[in-house]
Amino acid sequence: MSLPIYLIGARGCGKTTIGQALSQALGYAFQDTDHHLQLATQRSVADIVAAEGWDSFRARETESLRAVTAPDTVIATGGGMVLAEVNRRFMREHGQVIWLNAPSDVLAGRLERQPEAAQRPTLTGRPIAEEMHDILRERAHLYRQAAHHEVNAMQPPERVVEQILQSLSLARA
């Protein structure tokens, strides 16, 4: 049995896409903390935030992180998971943490191409490119701090998966 692999990074960096491909390559289970939270509460992220506020959402997010943590599992985390020190420490202590890093304009471009996935309310109502720029400026140091390895998420998904396997010295199942 192997430690869980946590994928961290801003919205659009590929946590879900890469997480699914990586779990297949390794023969691991795949979990997504946002998805777990939605199943557990029967509400969307936007609904939880609207009804209970961001603090309550963040507390539930921490619960989801703990609930999905298991051996031989790839875990896609919510983009804001690293904001809480308790989450950063938990991930570092319980598994291998990978930061999928891509510039804000790349993230914004991807998100603009999948508007249906914009489940999380924008904080500001400003253009998505500006918002992603600010998010990365605020969080880059937290992603870096939490991660054991940083991977260039602008590469094609197969390359990203390959690089993660190399970083962790893991072979395909």
- Closer to Mg ion at the Cβ: 16 or 167? 16
- 169 interface partner picked from Mg ion, ligand ADP, none, CB below 5 to 8 A per type: none
Q: Which residue has the tokens 């319980």?
A: 94
Q: Which is nearer to ligand ADP, 30 or 90 (CB)?
A: 30
Residues that bind Mg ion (CB under 5 A): 15-16
Q: What are phi and psi of 71, to 5 degrees?
A: -60, 160
User: How many CA atoms, within 13 angstroms, populate the side-chain half-sphere of residue 69?
Assistant: 17
Residue 139 in the binding site for ligand ADP (CB under 6 A): no
Tokens 């699914």 — which residue?
20
Q: What are the structure tokens assigned to 1, written together?
A: 């049995």
In this structure, what DSSP letter does residue 77 have?
-
Minimum CB–partner distance for residue 32 and Mg ion (Å):
6
Residues in touch with ligand ADP (CB under 6 A): 9, 11-17, 76, 110, 114, 153, 156-157, 160
